[in-house]
Structure 1
Amino acid sequence: MFVSSWLRGVARLAMSATQKPRVVFVLGSPGAGKGTQCKNIMKEFGYVHLSAGDLLREERSKPGSEYGELIEQHIRNGTIVPVEITCSLIERAMHKSGGNKFLIDGFPRNKENLEGWTKNMADRVQLEGVLFLDCPEDVSTARCLGRGAKGSGRSDDNPESLKKRFETYVKDTMPIIEHYEKLDLVHRVDSKQSPKHVFQDIKDIFQQFQ
């Protein structure tokens, strides 16, 4: 009896040790509220929040970073950083966190991101779904400009960069959302609502993942 119980315990530990990290992608336009809602999800459901944009900005600001200048150029132009750099930063942050449930915010943002993730990471994680915060351009722009006026510290919170960022989002990111919709993995939320109402909708979704 004791031996069989011990063996079952060992089996459970082995299964836990080999369990793939659980991932939810969080996508939406600039200003859709991804950062705000990820903080809410972290607090309520215990996920680790990894923002692709924040990781890139952090790498850009590191003294002597070999990628810093390239990242800055892409951010200012509203274009997308090469996938090899982004995947590397995400994987490093996942390992460093020690967690097993991750919100990956702002990724994958284009076909290259998707292909790079599929090649390098897809078989090493369990993709639970894609949270899509759907927000119209006028609301997104107003939020970002308001954020910039309050001193967000982001070099791309200005009208010219925002226009380019939204164009990039429509051209490159919406096809990724459509790809995952065909796989029945997208959970769409109307994010022009108040943050409180948006999170109530999100809670209903995340309770399905538990």
Structure 2
Amino acid sequence: MDVAIIKYNSGNVLSVLYALERLGINANLTDDVEEIKKADKVIFPGQGEASSAMRYLRERNLDQLIKDLKQPFFGICLGQQLLCEYSEENDTECLGVFPVKVRKFPPADKVPHVGWNSLQETQGQLLEGINTHDYVYYVHSYFAEIHPEFTVAKTHYIEDFSALLQKDNFYAMQAHPEKSSHSGQKILTNFLKL
């Protein structure tokens, strides 16, 4: 299986590479358009800042490429947020795959959200075998709002937010499955089976 991890000047890609290696997958970290297009699966992880990440994507024509991909695509953390239409982080227009806004948690003394939370109202193939007793790991200050059609799991921190979004071949998760022990390994395995 050919798995591409999109390189776009954001942190946390190595932990995703190592998590996939534990599952027997040697993924390719790349920002090459042709390599990404021919991959069986594409993962879009990240930690960082929205506007600089979007600038990197646009400079390399990865913004349009991502929107046109047809293979299973998994955005993680910042990767989820960039798949939304807009982020309050530095007033950033994002990719618009999901018609969802990304907002900052109020108040400032409770940001960032760091720690383990359960997933609620789970549905879909990516969360097969995951229930409300399973926890995943979060580190974030911004969150994707709930969408009535595309939110397939929620988490509560200060308010409810989209833990997982899904539309066609696009899956997007705020938590870090690569840092979420057995639950995260199950989610990554489910994605690789799509």
Same fold by TM-score greater than 0.5: no
Normalized per residue, which structure has more strand? 2
TM-score by length of 2: 0.34
Larger Rg: 1
Say which structure, 1 or 2, has more relative contact order (CA 8 Å, 6+ apart). Answer: 1
Normalized per residue, which structure has more helix? 1
